[in-house]
């Protein structure tokens, strides 16, 4: 230990997370702290870089230790905090998982356990990793926001809401039994070791989905390099450790950024280009994407229990991708002495270098049509890669067409007959033994068709949001000022009118044709089609802009 004095121990909760790993290494390199790494896994597993780095050496020398702890279990937390002077509370579930019960149990109940354990174990200082999203309502962008901003009445998602509740608990705990607390709000963390931003961006690029810009592309963001986040935590701890600093920083919250705002889509483009992919160029209006996002989210809520993966396209994600989010760090600079130690430019270079294994190979292996269809049987069927399967599916759809539309049945009669076949199938399926000639018959449990109270509530919330969104549009129209919105409404109603005059029979035939032939054609000439689509889309956006400007001039 530096100075040869008594060992001083701190603990980092969620210590195997992205930002937490960097904090652990920075604490160990300071030669001031021994670090206890607390996380959910039963044991610690180091990657080769960590084995030869500060953490590996510290674990072998006894300057670091690992403890398995679930924050939702108070006994685990107390055991992890025994003999600890400082707690860096960084543990939190993945923010992209919109599961209120999970977020509440960790971010709120877990934080309560952390505070109680700090008081019981006589911990001196608690630094809580919060989020700028605690002041984001999911509707209004934030430009140069500071710590005077209040918590919103409604949050963008469960993660933001529960992080705000956790932050309130930590702020309120300041001064209890000698415990000093403060909160750090790092904005949009990036850097080496990130398992969310860059990998998902590259996956989207490989799937041909990274060429789109949600919104007008001019929204500005504050990003924070991960080592700057770790540095901010240490600045906060050092400030609380002094008598003068404790009076200023105790019970406070601080925005932390790289102090170098940049357009969100420019930042994404720099990462993509650095890894050899094309930068996004096609702009898609938020009003077009939001209904799709709501539909995707509702589908996930219904099918998640059957294994559907968490979708990337959700309403909260669309809002985050299209609004301004910049924050003022003056308070952090003045009160805890925080300034970035790594510039945005250098941070981007280090990040891109660390993901060299994800660089584009510049060779086309799989068509975008195949990727859009999710691969597997569906893609093979619709792209005619398995011709026997494609013909079978097409014949089945044709049979349904003749059964529903050309048999003379009314819609109700046809549906009744179809349901009778389904009921008969389910009855026979249920009566079959579990095995026939060695072949296992999978049984459907009664819960297969059930909708939980939580899912019903989520559906009701989605319907309510859609209704309120429509009311908001009507209010804007009634003001008679938003010509751009009026133009969009007219286009939408014209499209709806055309669809309404089309018979169900025609829609079915067109749908089958598009399903089995449009994807096949797109796969054959996807580059040319993409080019034509981009040109046409840009032309339509230009026409819309010109029409709006003319209407405003004539007003």
* Contact of 122 with 83, CB cutoff 8 Å: no
User: Which residues are CB-neighbours of 261 under 8 A, at least 6 positions away?
Assistant: 220, 221, 222, 326
**Cα(264)–Cα(2) distance, integer angstroms:** 42
163 as an active site residue: the answer is yes
Among 291, 364, 352, 334, CA closest to 147: 334
CA distance linking residue 89 with residue 224, whole number of Å: 19
Residue reference for tokens 């993660």 = 159
Tokens of 42: 């039963």
Q: Which of 72, 62, 67, 56 is nearest to 15 (CA)?
A: 67
Scanning 62-194, the segments in alpha helix (DSSP H) are: 74-81, 100-103, 111-120, 158-173
Say how many CA atoms lie within 13 Å of 169 toward its Cβ: 23
Q: What angle do CA 35, 38, 44 make, to 5 degrees?
A: 90
Q: What whole-number distance in Å separates Cα of residue 310 and Cα of residue 381? A: 25
Alpha carbons 233 and 8: distance in angstroms, whole number? 17
**Can you spell out the DSSP letters for 10-41?**
EEEETTTSHHHHHHHHHHHHTTS-EEEEEESS
State the CB neighbour count (10 A cutoff) for residue 397. 15
Distance CA 285, CA 530 (A): 18
Edge-to-edge strands, sheet with 262-263: 142-145, 325-327, 220-221, 262-263
| 3 state SS of 386 | coil
**Integer Rg of the chain from CA:** 28
Residue 530, SS3?
helix
In 257-276, which positions are buried (b, 16+ CB within 10 angstroms) versus exposed (e)? bbbebbebbebbbbbbebbe
Residues 6+ apart with CB under 8 A from 145: 132, 135, 255, 326, 327, 328
**Residue 434 three-state SS:** coil
User: How many other CB atoms are found less than 10 A from the CB of residue 480?
Assistant: 9
> What's the N-to-C CA distance of the chain in angstroms?
74
Residue indicated by tokens 């068509």: 367
Residue of 163, 301, 331, 368 with catalytic role? 163
C-alpha–C-alpha distance, residues 491 and 487, integer Å:
6
Q: Which residues are catalytic?
A: 163
């Amino acid at each position: 230990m530096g100075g040869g004095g008594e060992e001083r121990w701190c603990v980092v909760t969620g210590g195997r997370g992205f930002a937490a790993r960097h904090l652990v290494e920075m604490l160990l390199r300071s030669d001031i702290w021994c670090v206890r790494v607390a996380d959910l896994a039963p044991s610690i597993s180091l990657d080769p870089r960590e084995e030869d780095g500060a953490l590996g050496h510290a674990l072998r020398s006894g300057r670091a230790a690992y403890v398995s702890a679930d924050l939702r279990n108070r006994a685990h937390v107390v055991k992890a905090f025994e003999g600890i002077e400082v707690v860096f509370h960084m543990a939190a579930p993945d923010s992209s998982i919109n599961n209120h019960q999970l977020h509440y149990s960790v971010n709120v109940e877990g934080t309560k356990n952390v505070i109680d354990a700090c008081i019981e174990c006589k911990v001196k200082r608690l630094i809580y990793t919060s989020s700028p999203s605690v002041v984001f309502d999911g509707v209004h962008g934030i430009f140069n926001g500071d710590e005077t901003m209040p918590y919103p009445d409604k949050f963008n998602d469960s993660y933001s809401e529960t992080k705000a509740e956790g932050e309130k608990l930590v702020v309120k705990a300041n001064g209890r039994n000698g415990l000093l607390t403060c909160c750090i709000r790092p904005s949009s963390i990036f850097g080496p070791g990130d398992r969310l931003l860059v990998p998902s961006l590259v996956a989207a690029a490989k799937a041909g989905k990274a060429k789109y810009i949600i919104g007008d592309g001019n929204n500005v963001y504050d990003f924070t390099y991960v080592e700057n986040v770790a540095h901010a935590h240490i600045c906060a701890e050092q400030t609380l450790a002094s008598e003068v600093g404790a009076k200023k920083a105790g019970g406070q919250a601080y925005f932390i950024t790289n102090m170098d705002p940049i357009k969100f889509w420019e930042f994404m483009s720099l990462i993509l280009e650095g890894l050899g992919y094309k930068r996004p160029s096609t702009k898609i209006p938020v009003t077009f994407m939001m209904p799709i996002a709501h539909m995707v989210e509702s589908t996930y809520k219904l099918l998640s229990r059957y294994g559907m993966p968490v979708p990337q396209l959700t309403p909260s994600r669309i809002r985050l991708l299209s609004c301004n989010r910049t924050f003022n760090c003056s308070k952090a600079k003045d009160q805890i002495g925080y300034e970035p130690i790594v510039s945005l430019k250098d941070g981007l270079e280090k990040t891109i270098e660390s993901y060299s294994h994800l660089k584009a190979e510049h060779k086309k292996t799989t068509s975008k049509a195949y990727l859009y269809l999710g691969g597997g049987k569906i893609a093979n069927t619709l792209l005619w890669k398995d011709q026997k399967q494609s013909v079978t599916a097409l014949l089945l759809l044709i049979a349904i067409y003749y059964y529903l539309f050309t048999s003379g049945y009314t819609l109700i009669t046809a549906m009744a007959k179809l349901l009778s076949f389904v009921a008969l199938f389910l009855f026979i399926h249920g009566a079959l033994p579990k095995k026939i000639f060695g072949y296992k018959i999978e049984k459907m449990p009664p819960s297969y068709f059930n909708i939980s109270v939580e899912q019903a509530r989520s559906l009701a919330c989605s319907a309510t949001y859609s209704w309120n969104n429509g009311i908001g549009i009507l209010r804007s129209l009634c003001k008679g000022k938003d010509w751009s919105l009026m133009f969009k409404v007219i286009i939408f109603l014209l499209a709806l009118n055309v669809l309404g005059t089309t018979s169900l029979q025609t829609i079915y035939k067109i749908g089958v044709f598009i399903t089995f032939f449009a994807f096949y054609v797109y796969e054959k000439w996807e580059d040319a089609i993409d080019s034509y689509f981009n040109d046409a889309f840009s032309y339509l956006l230009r026409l819309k802009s010109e029409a709006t400007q003319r209407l405003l001039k004539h007003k």
